[in-house]
Structure 1
Amino acid sequence: MKKLLSIGLLLGLMSTMASADAYTKCIACHGANGEKVALGKSKVMKDMTKAEIEASLLGYQNGTYGGPMKGLMTAQVKGLSATDIKDIANKIGK
C-alpha cells in the first residue's frame, strides 16, 4: 500500500511539472541520462536507439506497447506531443 501511495504521489508531482524539456518528468524514474531501470522493471533507455524509444513511447500512447509498467507509462506519455517524443528520443537514444 505504501509503495502504491508513493508511486501515486510521484506521478502527481511529475504531472504538475512544467518544463521546456519533455524528458524532465522522466528523470525521477529513468535517471538524468536514461541510465536507470525504472522501478526495477524497465529497459535502460540509454541502451535503446532513438527509433526504439520513439516507437515505445508512441506504442504506450496508442496501447500497443508495454509490459508490467504499461498502465503507469500510458498515463505518463498521454500528454506528450510528437515533437516531445522525438526530443526525448534524440536526448537519450543512441
Structure 2
Amino acid sequence: MKIYRIATAVLALNLSLFAASGEAIYKKCSACHGEKAEVKYANKVPALTSIGKEDRIKALQGYKDGSNNVFGMGKVMQLHAKNLSDEDMATVSEYIESLK
C-alpha cells in the first residue's frame, strides 16, 4: 500500500509539471479578447473580465460540448475549447480573474 501511495504521488507531481498555466492558455485567446481580456469581440461578446469566473467556465464547457452558441460564436469557440480540460478551463478563468 505504501508503494501505491508513493507511485500515485510521483505520478501526480509529474502530471502537474505538464499542466499549462492560465497565462499560457490565455495567450491563444488574447488575439480576439485583448491582452487584458478587456476587448468586446465584434461588439457582441462582452469583455471576459466583465463575466464571472464560474460563468466563463460554464461557457467554455458549453462551447466544448457544442451546446453554447451565444452570439453565434459556437463553432469558432468550439475549435478553441475542444482541447481544454476542466482543469485548463478553471486555470484560464482564474488567470482572467487576476486581470481585473
Q: What TM-score does the superposition give when structure 2 sets the normalisation length?
A: 0.68
Structure 1 unmatched ranges of 5 or more:
1-18
Percent identity of equivalent pairs: 29
Listed as ranges, the matches of 1:6-17 within 5 Å are none
Listed as ranges, the matches of 1:1-94 within 5 Å are 20=21, 21-67=24-70, 68-93=72-97
**Structure 1 ranges of 4+ moved more than 3 A:** none
Residue type of the alignment partner of 1:59:
G
Q: Over aligned residues, Cα RMSD in angstroms?
A: 1.7
Residue aligning to 1:16: none
The CA distance in 2 between the partners of 1:35 and 1:86, in whole Å, is 19
Asked whether the equivalents of residues 37 and 43 of structure 1 are also in contact (C-alpha less than 8 Å), the reply is yes
The CA distance in 1 between the partners of 2:27 and 2:69, in whole Å, is 21
Number of aligned residue pairs: give it.
76
The CA distance in 2 between the partners of 1:47 and 1:57, in whole Å, is 15
The CA distance in 1 between the partners of 2:91 and 2:42, in whole Å, is 23
Q: In structure 2, the residue corresponding to 1:42 is in which secondary structure?
A: coil
Larger radius of gyration: 2
The CA distance in 2 between the partners of 1:81 and 1:88, in whole Å, is 11
Residue type of the alignment partner of 2:80:
Q
